[in-house]
Amino acid sequence: MYQSKYPQNFPENFLWGGATAANQIEGAWNLDGKGLTTAEVVAKAENRKKMSMDAVNEAVLATAIADQTAINYPKRRGIDFYHHYAEDIKLFAEMGFKVFRFSIAWARIFPNGDDQHPNEAGLKFYDQVLDELEKYQIEPLITLSHYEMPLALTKKYNGWADRRTIAAFTNYTKTVFKRYGKRVKYWLTFNEINTGTWGFHATGALDQDSTKNEQLQLRYQALHHQLIASALATKQLHQLCPMSKMGCMLARMQTYPATPNPVDVQAAQVADQKNLFFTDVQARGEYPNFMNRYFAEHGIKITMHPTDQQILAANPVDFVSFSYYMTTVTQANQDGTAVGNMATGGRNPYLQESAWGWQIDPIGLRITLNEMWDRYQKPLFVVENGLGALDKLVNGKIHDIYRINYLRQHIQQMKEAISDGVHLMGYTMWGPIDLISFSTSEMSKRYGFIYVDQDDQGNGSLRRIRKDSFYWYQKVIDSNGENL
Ligand code: BGP
């Protein structure tokens, strides 16, 4: 007789932990030979506060490059992880972390991006971080490029717009694989690669004087170079460290149709395809036809080398990772074009939103996990998820029940997805320790289990304080997701 059997718990080796990025935590922006990065000159312009196509004000940025004093302050200081890493990792260990996601600042290793020799002091810093993690048996998960690159490459090549950046990047990846490869099993190439369609923060390419179509042309070409670099880094990793695994990383924001009208459903599908396209290339090894059609219809011509398709096909990633914060809604216009997509987002009347307008949708995570698993049939990893909130320190404590509720609901839905049959490797919530926000460049949008005493101007003792959610997550990990 057929007996239905399905997993009802998180697997034994499930990787629980947290995720960060170098430019949002490290500080020490000019210490020990580190070069200036694109992240440090991203302007603190008002319009960076909304997630949109013009999330980065290119004109202000150009001034910032010319005048290094314009570098915004909290980013320069981060949370000074550079000097607090031992204390911070100890706190992660106290919560029971199995994995810690962080990124390497390319400009710490190669200050100008393509220097002849790596900067030993930079390499040493990450040796020490890995030593600490090893001490507590915390598995590292390293992002090779998280929203930054050496600024010198923007000046020299206009970032990823130029194919020569691929060689600079693969020289950097070879260097870090050789140095850390034996100690690091899990790697990611580009953080939220799909946000490169928004511009500079991910591509390092300036396009402020261009028309919309010229911008799209430049951004998709830059992204093609990143896709090739990602495939080449995957190849290197497999050759140099056969035991290690490479993953891709997508900002996944499912787009629901605004109504069941097929024109809306189809518009939502198109919006989703433009999002999933990147993972299609990285996990399946080729450009999907719907993108070739999109490029043709928008006059975008991707310059490819004869071997590019072969490089992509031969080097797909081993696992698929993504960030998940929200979902959005799409409606078709009269002319068939869509209103509302990942960046511009429509309102969903069934969902509540965070103080920053991010629509909170735990069930959407189960839907996303099922769809990603169906589409790729590769192990999945949720490498970012969390709630940005204004925490209040009351008598030395932070009672962040809202954060616990958010995370609990999302973890419950991951468990449902595992029961549905999804192969999920792990969960690194975003910002286990308060850090500088990407979209606001400020400190006050906090995600952490650990509070950091610092304000938006960079004043504060940097003291670390455990929030209520710290003790909650500790129990979650200890019970392997049973005690939520
Ligand atoms: C993701 C980025 C992170 C991070 C997070 C939260 O898009 O990968 O770097 O910052 O979003 O965003 P924010 O800091 O804007 O709240």
367-396 mean pLDDT: 97
Q: Is the CB of 192 under 6 A from ligand 1?
A: yes
Q: Given a cut of 60, is residue 293 above it in pLDDT? A: yes
Burial class (CB in 10 A: 0-12, 13-18, 19+), 145: buried
Backbone angles phi, psi at 355, to 5 degrees: -60, -20
303-326 mean pLDDT: 98
Best residue among 353, 384, 444 to mutate for probing ligand 1, ranked by most atoms within 8 Å of CB:
384
> pLDDT, tens digit, for every residue of 137-194?
999 999 999 999 999 999 899 999 999 999 999 999 999 999 999 999 999 999 999 9
Q: In terms of DSSP bridges, do strands 139-145 and 186-190 run parallel, antiparallel, or are they unpaired?
A: parallel
Q: In terms of DSSP bridges, do strands 359-360 and 352-353 run parallel, antiparallel, or are they unpaired?
A: antiparallel
Worst-scoring range by mean pLDDT, 7-21, 212-226, 341-355? 341-355
Q: Is the CB of 191 under 6 A from ligand 1?
A: yes
> What number does CATH give the domain 15-478?
3.20.20.80
Q: Is the CB of 78 under 6 A from ligand 1?
A: no
For residue 39, which of 102, 100, 85, 105 has the smallest C-alpha distance? 105
Q: In this prediction, what percent of the chain has a pLDDT beyond 90?
A: 80
Ligand 1: distance of its center to the CA of 435 in Å? 10
Q: Is the CB of 251 under 6 A from ligand 1?
A: yes
Protein residue whose Cα sits closest to atom 12 of ligand 1: 438
Protein residue whose Cα sits closest to atom 14 of ligand 1: 437
Q: Given a cut of 50, is residue 46 above it in pLDDT? A: no
Protein residue whose Cα sits closest to atom 9 of ligand 1: 438
122: CB partners within 8 A, 6+ apart: 32, 33, 34, 105, 108, 109, 111
Q: pLDDT at position 54, please?
A: 40
Q: Is residue 255 a contact partner of residue 341, using CB atoms and an 8 Å limit?
A: yes
Protein residue whose Cα sits closest to atom 15 of ligand 1: 439
Best residue among 48, 191, 438 to mutate for probing ligand 1, ranked by most atoms within 8 Å of CB:
438
Q: Is the CB of 388 under 6 A from ligand 1?
A: yes
Q: Is the CB of 354 under 6 A from ligand 1?
A: no
| Interaxial angle between packed helices 164-180 and 120-135, expressed in degrees from 0 to 180 and rounded to the nearest 10 | 50
Confidence grade of residue 66 (pLDDT, cut at 50, 70, 90): low
Worst-scoring range by mean pLDDT, 71-75, 86-90, 394-398, 431-435? 71-75
255-257 β-sheet, strand order = 255-257, 328-332, 338-339
Q: Given a cut of 70, is residue 334 above it in pLDDT? A: no
Ligand 1: distance of its center to the CA of 25 in Å? 12
Query: Looking up tokens 């693969």, which residue turns up?
Result: 170
Q: 186: which DSSP letter?
A: E
Q: Is residue 142 a contact partner of residue 187, using CB atoms and an 8 Å limit?
A: yes
Q: Given a cut of 90, is residue 430 above it in pLDDT? A: yes
Average pLDDT, rounded, for the chain: 91
Looking at residue 295, its amino acid is F
Ligand 1: distance of its center to the CA of 438 in Å? 5
Q: In this prediction, what percent of the chain has a pLDDT beyond 70?
A: 90
Q: pLDDT at position 470, please?
A: 98
For residue 15, which of 378, 481, 484, 483 has the smallest C-alpha distance? 481
Protein residue whose Cα sits closest to atom 4 of ligand 1: 438
Q: pLDDT at position 51, please?
A: 35
Confidence grade of residue 43 (pLDDT, cut at 50, 70, 90): low
Tokens linked to 234 = 């995957």
Q: Is residue 17 a contact partner of residue 98, using CB atoms and an 8 Å limit?
A: yes
Confidence grade of residue 74 (pLDDT, cut at 50, 70, 90): low
Protein residue whose Cα sits closest to atom 2 of ligand 1: 438
257: CB partners within 8 A, 6+ apart: 264, 265, 267, 268, 329, 330, 331
Looking at residue 217, its amino acid is Q
Q: Is the CB of 446 under 6 A from ligand 1?
A: no
Cα separation, 353 vs 450, in Å, equals 23
466-482 mean pLDDT: 98
Closest ligand 1 atom to 192 CA: 8
For residue 131, give the 3-state DSSP assignment.
Answer: helix
For residue 156, which of 35, 48, 71 has the smallest C-alpha distance? 35
Protein residue whose Cα sits closest to atom 3 of ligand 1: 438
Cα separation, 180 vs 480, in Å, equals 29
Burial class (CB in 10 A: 0-12, 13-18, 19+), 8: exposed
Q: Is the ipTM of this complex over 0.90?
A: yes
Q: Is the CB of 373 under 6 A from ligand 1?
A: no
Q: pLDDT at position 24, please?
A: 95
Tokens linked to 78 = 């981060």
* Whole-number Cα distances in Å, 247 to 185, 299, 429: 11, 31, 17
Q: Is the CB of 439 under 6 A from ligand 1?
A: yes
Q: Given a cut of 50, is residue 47 above it in pLDDT? A: no
Q: Is the CB of 430 under 6 A from ligand 1?
A: yes
Among candidate residues 286, 384, 416, 482, the one labeled active-site is 384
Q: Is 384 a catalytic residue?
A: yes
Q: Given a cut of 50, is residue 58 above it in pLDDT? A: yes
Q: pLDDT at position 49, please?
A: 40
Q: Given a cut of 60, is residue 101 above it in pLDDT? A: yes
Give the helix/strand (H/E) hosting 210: none
Q: In terms of DSSP bridges, do strands 464-466 and 255-257 run parallel, antiparallel, or are they unpaired?
A: unpaired
Q: Is the CB of 400 under 6 A from ligand 1?
A: no
Q: Given a cut of 60, is residue 52 above it in pLDDT? A: no
Query: Looking up tokens 């998960």, which residue turns up?
Result: 141
Ligand 1: distance of its center to the CA of 114 in Å? 27
Cα separation, 327 vs 360, in Å, equals 7
